[in-house]
């Protein structure tokens, strides 16, 4: 007789996620200061059809309605980010009580509905004042400001918040911000990128250390955008390229979080080009201190990558932000790897690979290398949705996508791996940083588009009812 699979843990955190800039709107209300995104979106040509988060999906004014919908879906957890500029409008200095109160009310409302708050401290919306004052992540002055901001959150919400995410996708905001110039501060300089990234590592480690040293209850860790890499075939030079990509794209960040050092191969590659960050003896002591290390790895999983050797010098390229399938351009890192098509995988309209098995592989690789529990902090399908005349949204493609990924998580749990929870991207539809409002991820449709905020009405999609049944059955009824 076939053996039964291990079940999902009883306290598994079935949830969904968001980020402040993508949902809140009210960008000048409640004493909020401006963030780098509030400015960046106004540069012509930077975002899809010039979209911005001034109104977004107006969660700031409608959070009670959104939390009610979460409760209706039976969510056990909700991951959201706090806008640094609501707490410290200038990044440091005076605390803005109105900002503190907004998140206090949100957290209380979640708890009243038995929904576990998972708080992301930083999801890319750096206070513009810190960018102006000392160039943000490029100055070590940000370390003290970041720790002070994090401490303010621990002190005010730590009695109710037990899961903290420090930095969201450091690899993404650094690469887009300092290498591809597609996020603020729109720089293309790898040396500056690695230097700023090192400072972000110090800020991350300092906040985690502070949390561990001051007796707060709960768990803390970063969320990393991990795309496991496959080699295009068994040719040894392509296998080597896959190893290069894994080291350069992923171990470079995750090794630092967990071990406190960078992989030798990447360090050596950087030194040869004169782009290695400076590491002081004090940095090393901080980074290697076990108190600076995370309690869990937050995993944002969307897709895998497939690579081959790159001896033709293919470099960075812009992403498909139009939703026109097949418009993705060739990209890579000269001498290290180039991204190639994987014939075994389907793609989304934005050319992201659809690969549920890749999620099981991601969980296994994190377990083998880092031996940490994983909280899956993002996973979802960006797609075009159609609002029918009767206000229904038949997103069977999203249900299919999520079902296969839940199966992959179940398989990883059956492998014996520790997975704490799954907060899908996203709960309501929201603003995609570079792709506008047409790329939708939510269980709840929000009636707005690029041209108009319309009435911002919320309509549960078919996937909403499907997820409700998954949660109610603790992952059995798919
Ligand atoms: C992650 C981010 O990179 O992926 C989210 O943490 C983002 O903020 C999500 O929205 C989906 O990406 P995109 O580009 O499709 O919005």
User: If you write DSSP's letter for every residue of 390-409 in order, what string do you get?
Assistant: TS----HHHHHHHHHHHHHH
Q: Which atom of ligand 1 is nearest to the CA of 124?
A: 8
Q: Confirm whether 271 is a catalytic residue.
A: no
Task: Collect contacts of 322-327 with beta carbons under 8 A, ≥24 apart.
Answer: 322/48, 323/349, 323/350, 323/384, 323/435, 323/438, 323/439, 324/349, 325/349, 325/350, 325/351, 326/351, 327/351
Cα distance between residue 223 and residue 203, in whole Å? 14
**Do 117 and 18 touch, CB atoms closer than 8 A?**
no
User: How many Cβ atoms from other residues are within 10 Å of residue 417's Cβ?
Assistant: 18
Report the predicted TM-score, pTM, of the whole model to 2 decimal places: 0.98
> 425 CB under 6 A from ligand 1?
yes
The reply to whether ipTM tops 0.85 is yes
**Do 398 and 349 touch, CB atoms closer than 8 A?**
no
Check residue 249 and report its DSSP letter: I
Cα distance between residue 53 and residue 57, in whole Å? 8
Q: Best of 48, 167, 170, 432 to mutate for ligand 1, by most ligand atoms within 8 A of CB?
A: 432
Closest to 448 (Cα-Cα) out of 13, 36, 34, 62: 62
Residue-wise pLDDT tens for the chain (478 aa)? 567 999 999 999 999 999 999 999 999 999 999 999 999 999 999 999 999 999 999 999 999 999 999 999 999 999 999 999 999 999 999 999 999 999 999 999 999 999 999 999 999 999 999 999 999 999 999 999 999 999 999 999 999 999 999 999 999 999 999 999 999 999 999 999 999 999 999 999 999 999 999 999 999 999 999 999 999 999 999 999 999 999 999 999 999 999 999 999 999 999 999 999 999 999 999 999 999 999 999 999 999 999 999 988 899 888 899 999 999 999 999 999 999 999 999 999 999 999 999 999 999 999 999 999 999 999 999 999 999 999 999 999 999 999 999 999 999 999 999 999 999 999 999 999 999 999 999 999 999 999 999 999 999 999 999 999 999 999 999 9
Burial profile 89-126: b = 16 or more Cβ within 10 angstroms, e = fewer: bbbbeebbeebbebbeebbebbeeeebbbbbbbbbbbb
> Distance from the CA of 432 to the center of ligand 1, in angstroms?
6
Burial profile 352-374: b = 16 or more Cβ within 10 angstroms, e = fewer: bbbbbbbbbbbbebbbebbebbb
Q: Confirm whether 404 is a catalytic residue.
A: no
User: How many Cβ atoms from other residues are within 10 Å of residue 20's Cβ?
Assistant: 27
Check residue 136 and report its DSSP letter: G
Strand residue runs (E) in 309-418: 332-333, 337-339, 346-347, 353-354, 374-378
Annotated catalytic residue within 282, 378, 388, 404? 378
Cα distance between residue 177 and residue 179, in whole Å? 6
User: How many Cβ atoms from other residues are within 10 Å of residue 14's Cβ?
Assistant: 23
User: How many Cβ atoms from other residues are within 10 Å of residue 307's Cβ?
Assistant: 26
> 265 CB under 6 A from ligand 1?
no
Cα distance between residue 32 and residue 404, in whole Å? 40
Q: Which helix (H) or strand (E) holds 182?
A: none
Annotated catalytic residue within 24, 116, 169, 246? 169
120, 345, 354, 363 from 379: Cα distances, Å: 16, 17, 11, 13
């Amino acid at each position: 007789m076939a053996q039964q699979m291990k079940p999902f843990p009883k306290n598994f955190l079935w949830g969904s996620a968001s980020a402040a800039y993508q949902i809140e709107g009210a960008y000048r209300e409640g004493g909020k200061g401006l963030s780098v995104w509030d400015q960046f979106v106004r540069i012509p040509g930077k975002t899809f059809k010039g979209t911005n988060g001034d109104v977004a999906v107006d969660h700031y004014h409608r959070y009670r309605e959104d939390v009610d919908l979460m409760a209706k879906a039976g969510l056990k957890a909700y991951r959201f980010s706090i806008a640094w500029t609501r707490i410290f409008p200038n990044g440091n200095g005076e605390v803005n009580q109105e900002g503190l109160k907004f998140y206090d009310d949100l957290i209380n409302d979640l708890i009243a509905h038995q929904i576990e708050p998972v708080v992301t401290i930083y999801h890319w919306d750096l206070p513009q004042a810190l960018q102006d004052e000392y160039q943000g992540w490029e100055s070590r002055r940000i370390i003290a400001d970041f720790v002070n901001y994090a401490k303010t959150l621990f002190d005010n919400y730590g009695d109710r918040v037990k899961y903290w995410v420090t930095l969201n996708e450091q690899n993404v905001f650094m690469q887009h911000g300092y290498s591809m110039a597609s996020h603020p501060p729109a720089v293309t300089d790898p040396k500056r990128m690695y230097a700023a990234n090192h400072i972000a590592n110090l800020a991350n480690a300092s906040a985690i250390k502070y949390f561990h040293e001051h007796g707060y209850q709960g768990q803390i860790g970063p969320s990393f955008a991990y795309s496991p890499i496959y080699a295009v075939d068994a040719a040894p030079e392509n296998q080597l390229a896959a190893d290069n990509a894994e080291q350069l794209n992923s171990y470079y960040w995750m090794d630092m979080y967990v071990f406190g050092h960078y992989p030798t191969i990447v360090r050596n590659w950087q030194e040869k080009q004169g782009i290695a960050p400076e590491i002081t003896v004090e940095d090393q002591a901080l980074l290697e201190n076990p108190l600076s290390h995370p309690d869990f790895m937050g995993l944002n999983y969307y897709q895998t990558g497939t690579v081959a050797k790159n001896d033709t010098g293919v470099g960075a390229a812009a992403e498909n932000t139009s939703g026109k399938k097949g418009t993705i351009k060739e990209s890579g890192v000269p001498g290290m790897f180039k991204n190639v098509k994987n014939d075994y995988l389907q793609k989304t309209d934005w050319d992201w690979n659809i690969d549920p098995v890749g999620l099981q592989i991601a969980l296994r690789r994190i377990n083998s290398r880092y031996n940490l529990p994983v909280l899956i902090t993002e996973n979802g399908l960006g797609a075009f949705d159609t609002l029918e005349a009767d206000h229904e949204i038949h997103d069977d493609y999203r249900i299919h996508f999520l079902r296969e990924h839940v199966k992959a998580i179940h398989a990883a749990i059956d492998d014996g791996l520790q997975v704490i929870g799954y907060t899908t991207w996203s709960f309501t539809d929201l603003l995609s940083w570079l792709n506008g409002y047409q790329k939708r991820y939510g269980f709840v449709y929000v009636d707005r588009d690029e041209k108009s905020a319309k009435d911002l009405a919320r309509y549960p999609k078919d996937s909403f009812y499907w997820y409700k049944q998954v949660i109610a059955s603790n992952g059995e009824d798919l």
